[in-house]
Every structure is written in structure tokens, then in C-alpha cells.
Amino acid sequence: MKVLVTGGSGYIGKAVIAALAGQGHRVSALTRSDRAARTVTALGAAPVQGGLGDLEVLNRAAAQAEAVIHLAQAGSGEEDLAAAGAMQDGIGSGAYVHTGGTWVYGDTDGVVDESAPWNPPALVAWRKPVEDAVLARARTGGRPVVVQPGLLYGGENRLIDAFYTAAARQSGAVPCIAEGANHWALVHVDDLAELYVRALCAQPGSVYVGVGGVSPTARECAVALARSLKISDIATLTLEEARRQMGPIADAFALDQQLTPARARRELGWNPRFGDPLAVLAQDR
């Protein structure tokens, strides 16, 4: 299958291209720079020059593919919706896999699945109208699927590294919001890549949370990160202090989330291989 990927040179994108190529798919990848083009080419994908604002490029590239996996981070809900619309118009009845995120469910109050009500922090509240519009294409012959990744780890570990590891290296202590009793719904990047590949064959209109099924507490994760950095101190921050240091994403890191991947297991045969996120987080850096 010929698959167009946006965000192919990014953290998730590189893993997804590798997974697609490993299963014999032909991949093209949207790239905004020569550096990104070299990255995707090295992974076996054909670069397509353009960004999410280049709607004609997106439409044409999607029309030349048999499926689309949209991973690139848009600057706003309006940009994401316009890009999704252009690619869905181009792909027609081919598979279109859109990226959401589990933070939209807010605090889950125990273990929940994709049927849980949305209660997003302000950072991701824009996702609702975008995902509704994407999924509505299933009623007119499209094949939209939404994958909602949890908090990623493994490999470059970009999000956790940006806000936790970097702060620890600067201050000598790993930050932890409040007591850190809230759970993080984690997923290894390689497991998530496999879910995206399997989602290409999902029923139109399906939504899948991409989580590994193990949700340690934020403090357990902080302790594991401290071990990896050979740091003994954990710096307890109030939410207000975390907001000043991290910005709006602090409210997302403070969410208490536990989600089950049962639907993806049952419908797609997805079986995450990484069952011990704390061991991976504790590896030397």
C-alpha cells in the first residue's frame, strides 16, 4: 500500500515510517526542510516538499496515495481541520488515520476506554470539533480513523525529555507536580507506531486510545527518570509553580489518567510489547 505520512521526520513519524516500511508499504512523507527530507529518505520514504498550510500539496499528495497517516502537529485547530479536509478530499475512499490524544478525557477517575466523556484541559480543547469533522466523513464514503496516543516514552522520549529531563539537568532535581499521585497513561513509541499501521485496516469511524495498559504514577515516573540521570532529588512543585515553569502543558501532566487498550487489542489485534515503562524510563541517558 502507498501511504502518505505527515510529520514523518518527527518523534512518532520516524517510528511509523520504519513500521510501515518493515511491513512492505511504500511511504511518502511531507517535509518542510531539506533536513527533514534527508531524514525521511534515510528511512526509505519519498519526501514531498510542503507544510500543513500547503493545502494543494496535501490534496495532491493524498490523491496519489492509497492511505494517509496524519501525525504532524498543527499550530491551531483551524490549521489542523483545513489540512485534514484537504487530505481527506484527496484520499477519497482510502484510509485516513488522524492523530488525537488521550489528554482530551481529562481526569478519568479510574480505568476508562474510548466511550469516556471528554473533559479536556484548555491546551487540547480544540481537538473536539476537529475530530468530529474528521469522523463525520465516514457517513459520506470516507474511511476516517482517529488514534489517540497517551504520553509517549522510549527512543528520543521527546515530550518527557523537554519538560522533565531538561529541567533535571539544569536544576539537579527531577520535577514532580504536587505529590505525583496522579497516573500517566503511557505508550512506547514503537508500540504506537504498530497501532498506526494496524489502524489502516480499521472500520471507518473508529477511535482507538493508544496506551500500553500500564499507568504508573507521575512520582514513580519521576523516580525512574532520576535513576536514569543518576540524580537523587525530586523537586515537588505546586501546580501554579509548574505552570510558571512549563506553561499550559503543566495541567496536562497533572491529569490523573488510566485507560485501557482493550478495543485496539480486540478489533485490530494490537498487542503492545513494552509492559514496563518504568524500566525504560530508568535506563541510563
119-147 pLDDT per residue, tens:
999 999 999 999 999 999 999 999 999 99
The CATH number given to 154-185+213-281 is 3.90.25
Model confidence pLDDT, tens digit, residues 9-49? 999 999 999 999 999 999 999 999 999 999 999 999 999 99
Strand 173-177 vs strand 46-49: parallel, antiparallel, or unpaired? unpaired
Contact 264, 270 (CB under 8 A): yes
Q: What angle do CA 237, 189, 162 make, to 5 degrees?
A: 35
Is domain 2-151+187-210 given the CATH code 3.40.50.720 in the classification? Answer: yes
Q: What is the pTM of this model?
A: 0.96
Mean per-residue pLDDT for 260-271? 98
How far apart (Å, rounded) are the C-alpha atoms in residues 237 and 83?
38
- How far from 151 is each of 81, 98, 154, 257, 280, CA to CA, in Å? 23, 17, 10, 10, 14
CA distances from 240 to 35, 162, 177, 227 (A): 38, 19, 9, 26
Do residues 198 and 3 touch, judged by C-beta distance below 8 A? Answer: no
Q: At how many degrees (to 10) do helices 189-199 and 11-22 cross?
A: 60
pLDDT at 157: 74
Over residues 45-58, mean pLDDT: 98
SS3 61: helix
- Residue ranges per domain, the chain? 2-151+187-210, 154-185+213-281
158 pLDDT band, cuts 50/70/90, is confident
- Distance in Å from the first CA to the final CA of the chain: 37
CA distance 62 to 257: 35
Q: Name the band, by pLDDT with cuts 50, 70 and 90, for residue 277.
A: very high
Does residue 284 have a pLDDT over 90?
Answer: no
Mean predicted confidence (pLDDT) in 187-212: 98
